[in-house]
Amino acid sequence: MTKTAALLSALALLSAGPAVAQSLPEAVPDLAETLGDLGGSLSALAGRSDWMAGGGIEQRSTNGTKGEGNLHITAQRAYTEGMVDDWRLTLMVVQAEVNSGFTAGAIGRRPAGAEQSGPQAEADVVFPSLTLRQENDDRTTVLRLTSTPVGGSVSARPAGRVETTLYGSSVIVGGRLFAEPVVSSLLSYTGMRDPVSGRSWGRVMDMGGGAQAIWLPWDGVGIGLSGEAAALQGQDVKDNTRFSTRLDLSYDLKPEGFDHLRVGPFVSYATFAKNLSHYSWGHGGYYSPSQDLREGIGIDALTTEGERWQVEAKASLALTQAEEEAAPRYWENGGTAGGVYQGSSTEGLSTQVSLRASALLGDHLILSGFSRYQAAPQYNDIAVGAFLTIPFSARSGVFSADLPDSVFAPFR
């Protein structure tokens, strides 16, 4: 096993985060999860260095206290992946049907004037994605180019992410820059049409950067500290900023038959400058608390690499304390018109349970899938997916890089 694989083998629990109360932008993700393949030599085994193609379907459904904030997505994808020189290239096209559930309540300028049309409840969109990943023993680099949804009420914009990770003997450091869509609601993701004025607004972008440091003081022990800061902007949506940080501690029990089995506590904190969680004109339709504090414990298990099947299981339980500030109904003219949305405080348990699995059905056929359930005070989120991949070269086993990921709420 390479040094990269050994270091990553000590870190996966640092990704076992809490369920999101509503849906935060992907905050301080674990770098071990974003890497995918467990080191250069491992990725070259059993045909992993050759080309493959596949497709599948995923569904995601969220439910919260605001009817307009419900989100139902059905997405189909087609993809191909292979090596170009020393870069792993993944090209994907996704077609998605996005539905808000129902559209009662204050949407856009409603009920401030006569309606020109009914509220928008759904959108059919498509977007491409190109990912390049280069892995060495001492460094990993990831480049991703994509776009916000094409076909939504608000025109699409380029999106993407760049990450780099450096590996030392007992320390890993990394950084990232990103500009990505906020997949919290129909308004934040594709934009919506105002039933009163007929104008469109929304399609929020989360743009910023983050850093992470992981220390491995003893065998099987990992300590991670990470932070992220970003600005959020959308068409005719009030500008916003956010900050998040997270501290993790993990210990690897590593029983026989497992690549790792880790358990440990974590604490995370997130804050937004403004509450833009509503759906009237100028709001963004995404969870934006003034504070979100979580303290909990997580477990992360992965069966052995290179067998004919592999399963990853994660679970976490956290005490969550969240506060959302009062916000004007409309942000125009200093927010003085139309009244005020009252602030709120919630406290309770949040939990997350997820499974990902891959099985080699034949030398040239891999079946994979995922399921995830997240719950927090006044919120739940369910996602499932199933996929078939055809390796062009014969395979003798599957690896964690073959485990499928969601394009809307990534496991990595």
Q: Does residue 187 form part of some domain?
A: yes
Locus of tokens 């395979």: 395
Q: Identify the pLDDT of residue 136.
A: 85
Gyration radius (Cα) of the chain, Å: 21
Contact (Cβ atoms closer than 8 angstroms) between residue 363 and residue 394? yes
Q: Is residue 408 part of a domain?
A: no
What is the pLDDT at residue 333? 67
Residue 51 covered by a domain: yes
Q: Which tens digit of pLDDT belongs to each residue from 77-136?
A: 999 999 998 899 999 999 999 998 655 567 888 766 677 777 778 899 999 999 999 988
Here the tokens at position 253 are: 């029990």
Q: Report the run of H or E that residue 40 belongs to, with start and end.
A: helix 40-43
Nearest one of 126, 113, 122 to 68, comparing CA atoms: 122
Extract the tokens encoding 9: 């083998």
Give the pLDDT mean for 178-182: 97
Q: Is residue 286 part of a domain?
A: yes
pLDDT tens, residue by residue, 4-48:
444 444 444 343 333 334 545 444 444 334 333 333 334 444 456
For the chain, the first-to-last Cα distance in angstroms comes to: 22
Higher pLDDT, 234 or 197: 234
Higher pLDDT, 288 or 378: 288
Domain that holds residue 263: 3-402
What is the distance between the alpha carbons of residues 311 and 315, in angstroms, rounded to a whole number? 14
- Determine phi and psi for 406, rounding to 5 degrees: -85, 140
325 inside domain: yes
Please report whether residue 152 resides in a domain.
yes
Q: Does 261 map to a domain? A: yes
Q: What is the pLDDT of residue 167?
A: 93
Domain count, the chain: 1
Residue 187 has pLDDT above 90, yes or no: yes
**407 in a structural domain:** no
